[in-house]
Amino acid sequence: MHGHRPRKRFGQNFLADLHYVARIVAAVDPQRGDNVVEIGPGLGALTGELIARAGTIAAVEIDRDLAARLSDRFASAQLRLFEADALAFDFAPLGPRLRVVGNLPYNISSPLLFHLASFDAQLRDVHVMLQREVADRVLAAPGGGDYGPLAVMLGLFADRSRVLSLPPGAFRPAPQVHSAVVRLAFRPPPVPVARFDAVDRLVRTAFQQRRKTLANALRPLTAAREAGGAAPLDLAAVLHGAGIDPMRRPETVTPEEFVHLADTLIPLSVL
């Protein structure tokens, strides 16, 4: 730990097993000239190896003490360091074909993945360490219990795969959970997405009541519309018009179907 006391508010569990460091870097396989950005470099276990392969990388670190250590350890020509909260960080100025690597704090991993997905057009791939249960939700297919907003939104923009699993003992301090590294290989969505925010809101609303039928799960959207004075909307008819059975449950709806439904609802001032 080099004298650093982990801060619980930042969810700090540092990767300490060099065997897994080597396996992660080999999976990323950074090359000279790649546009690599590391989220939460921490004590630099991955940072040095990424720099050795890519030559120079960017990094986003929220902890000022760790940022100072990294600045002392690496020259500015090797590491472009941003002392910032990754949840609010604007990745756009970092340029195209970004390759994101990170041992994400488990308490913010889901919102951070949604934040990254909003930069989909400039992402090449993402390799992130997640709590195993979160990784299962990222990789889930329609129809399963783990399928939800993470799988839908990330599945629209990326091919998802599990790279490796890690035990608690690979970290200092050791977390109470097992971990997994997930790869997201970004590509154009299978159907055009007119408004990311609209699809995101639709999906989140649907899965807030995932055991209800889709027509009932989406009722909060129409309630807000009607509270503004609009005429009641027949959601079942709208769903039928979009080619989706209103009796289906949200966990059976594919990412493409959610996009099509969002396109149907946007003109109706529901999203």
Please tell me the distance from the alpha carbon of residue 117 to that of residue 187, in angstroms, as a whole number: 11
- Give percent of the chain above pLDDT 70: 95
43-93 pLDDT, tens digit each: 888 999 999 999 999 999 999 989 999 999 999 999 999 999 999 999 999
Alpha helices in 32-130 (DSSP H): 47-54, 64-73, 109-117
Q: How confident is the model at residue 12 (pLDDT cuts 50, 70, 90)?
A: low
pTM of the shown model: 0.89
212-259 pLDDT, tens digit each: 999 999 999 988 778 878 888 899 999 999 999 999 999 999 999 999
Q: Which pLDDT score, from 0 to 100, does residue 44 have?
A: 87
Domains and CATH numbers, the chain: 8-186 (3.40.50.150), 196-268 (1.10.8.100)
Please tell me the distance from the alpha carbon of residue 124 to that of residue 145, in angstroms, as a whole number: 29
Give the pLDDT mean for 110-121: 93
Q: How confident is the model at residue 3 (pLDDT cuts 50, 70, 90)?
A: low
Q: Which pLDDT score, from 0 to 100, does residue 7 have?
A: 52
Nearest one of 180, 57, 196 to 127, comparing CA atoms: 180
- Helix and strand totals (H; E) in the chain: 11, 9
The encoded tokens of residue 231 equal 């005429």
Residue for token digits 């990424």? 50
Give the pLDDT mean for 111-129: 95
